[in-house]
């Protein structure tokens, strides 16, 4: 059965390295029989700010506006703005979601953060009452594919920027895993702006090779949910050791893919 892929792309320039990475993904995955759709956020003029404008009709409590609660109610009643529901429909249909972007300030560009804020609606793909447990996206894979401004040597355990896995923890655990995605290892393009043209071509060639088997890759490991107490959301005593605790945030010490 043909797979459906959504690429959420956040770069202003069609001649950028990120654009090249996105185009290769479209080409290779389409050649494999996948249906690939791209949400080009800048080209779409996607609104980044989560405001009351995202909700059609009257608010439950306009004076004490809570985006979290109002958007949940609007989702339940079919009153979210059209641009949000369109992206949610793409998510519902996709088997794989690739987020392609340049890393800004150890995170994502504001327009992509806005996509997360607005499209990943309370009730649709996450629940505060059951964190990490909502099953809307459980059969879907997602991954980060991004460029950095610093070389790999700065993003290691002894580098000034620290371990890249820790840098990515808010995105891979706090957003993707929290919403139930199976999270594939990231594709990291280390500082293409600082490298020679020949090295940039090698980066893209490795990405092309990885894409050939991307749909068959195993996701990252996260600590099983039943290891946590359901009331405190802390590790049960029998599972506390040096291996876990904060190191949960480094995906049980799994290394990055060799091609990165």
How do residues 39-62 score in pLDDT, each as one tens digit? Answer: 999 999 999 999 999 999 999 998
Residue 254 and residue 221: Cα distance in Å, rounded?
Answer: 8
- Amino acid 245: pLDDT: 43
- Amino acid 136: pLDDT: 73
Quick check: is 257 in a domain? Answer: no
- Amino acid 72: pLDDT: 93
Taking only the tens place, the pLDDT of each residue in 204-248 is: 999 999 999 999 999 988 887 888 888 887 878 887 765 544 444
Taking only the tens place, the pLDDT of each residue in 63-104 is: 999 999 999 999 999 999 999 999 999 999 999 999 999 999
- Amino acid 201: pLDDT: 95
Taking only the tens place, the pLDDT of each residue in 30-41 is: 999 999 999 999
- Amino acid 243: pLDDT: 54
Quick check: is 260 in a domain? Answer: no
SS3 184: coil
Task: Confirm if 18 and 147 have CB atoms less than 8 A apart.
Answer: yes
Q: Give 187 or 230, the one with higher predicted confidence.
A: 187
Q: Give 221 or 28, the one with higher predicted confidence.
A: 28
- Amino acid 255: pLDDT: 53
Q: pTM for the whole thing?
A: 0.88
Quick check: is 245 in a domain? Answer: no
* Domain of 149, in residue numbers: 4-220
Angle at 243 between CA 222 and CA 187, to 5 degrees: 45
Taking only the tens place, the pLDDT of each residue in 140-166 is: 999 999 999 998 888 877 888 888 888
Quick check: is 227 in a domain? Answer: no
CATH for 151 = 3.40.50.360
Cross-strand bridge partners of residue 80 = 55
Quick check: is 256 in a domain? Answer: no
Quick check: is 236 in a domain? Answer: no
- Amino acid 238: pLDDT: 80
Strand 35-40, strand 96-102: pairing? unpaired
Q: Which two tokens stand for residue 153?
A: 């040597």
- Specify the range with the lowest mean pLDDT, choosing from 115-124, 171-180, 234-243: 234-243
Quick check: is 253 in a domain? Answer: no
Beta carbons within 10 angstroms of residue 78's beta carbon: 9
Q: Which two tokens stand for residue 224?
A: 């099983």
Q: Which two tokens stand for residue 150?
A: 């610093």
**What's the distance, Cα to Cα, between the start and end of the chain in Å?**
29
- Amino acid 259: pLDDT: 45
- Amino acid 156: pLDDT: 79
The burial class, CB within 10 Å (0-12 / 13-18 / 19+), for 136 is middle
Quick check: is 258 in a domain? Answer: no
Mean pLDDT of 3-18: 96
Residue 39 and residue 181: Cα distance in Å, rounded?
Answer: 18
Q: Which two tokens stand for residue 64?
A: 């004490």
Q: Which two tokens stand for residue 67?
A: 């985006």
pLDDT at 251 over 80: no
Task: Label residue 252 by pLDDT band (50, 70, 90).
Answer: very low
Q: How many domains does the chain have?
A: 1
> Which percentage of the chain shows pLDDT scores above 90?
65
Task: Confirm if 151 and 203 have CB atoms less than 8 A apart.
Answer: no
Smallest CA-to-CA distance from 70 within 62, 204, 36 is with 62
């Amino acid at each position: 059965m043909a797979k459906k892929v959504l690429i959420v792309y956040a770069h202003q320039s069609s001649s950028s390295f990120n654009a090249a990475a996105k185009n290769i993904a479209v080409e290779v995955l389409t050649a494999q029989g996948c249906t690939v759709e791209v949400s080009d956020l800048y080209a779409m003029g996607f609104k980044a700010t989560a405001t009351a404008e995202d909700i059609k009709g009257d608010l439950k409590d306009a004076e004490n506006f809570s985006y979290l609660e109002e958007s949940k109610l609007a989702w339940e009643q079919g009153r979210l703005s059209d641009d949000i529901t369109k992206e949610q429909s793409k998510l519902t249909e996709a088997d794989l979601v690739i987020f392609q972007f340049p890393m800004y300030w150890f995170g994502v560009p504001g327009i992509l953060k806005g996509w997360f804020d607005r499209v990943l609606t309370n009730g649709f793909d996450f629940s505060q009452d059951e964190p990490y447990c909502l099953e809307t996206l459980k059969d879907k894979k997602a991954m980060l594919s991004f460029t950095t401004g610093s070389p790999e040597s700065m993003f290691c355990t002894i580098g000034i920027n620290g371990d890249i896995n820790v840098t990515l923890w808010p995105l891979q655990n706090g957003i993707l895993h929290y919403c139930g995605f199976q999270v594939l290892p990231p594709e990291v393009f280390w500082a293409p702006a600082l490298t020679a043209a020949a090295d940039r071509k090698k980066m893209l060639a490795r990405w092309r090779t990885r894409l050939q088997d991307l749909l068959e890759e195993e996701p990252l490991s996260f600590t099983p949910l039943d290891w946590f107490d359901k009331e405190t959301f802390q590790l049960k005593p029998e599972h506390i050791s040096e291996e876990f605790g904060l190191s949960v945030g480094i995906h049980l010490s799994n290394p990055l893919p060799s091609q990165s």
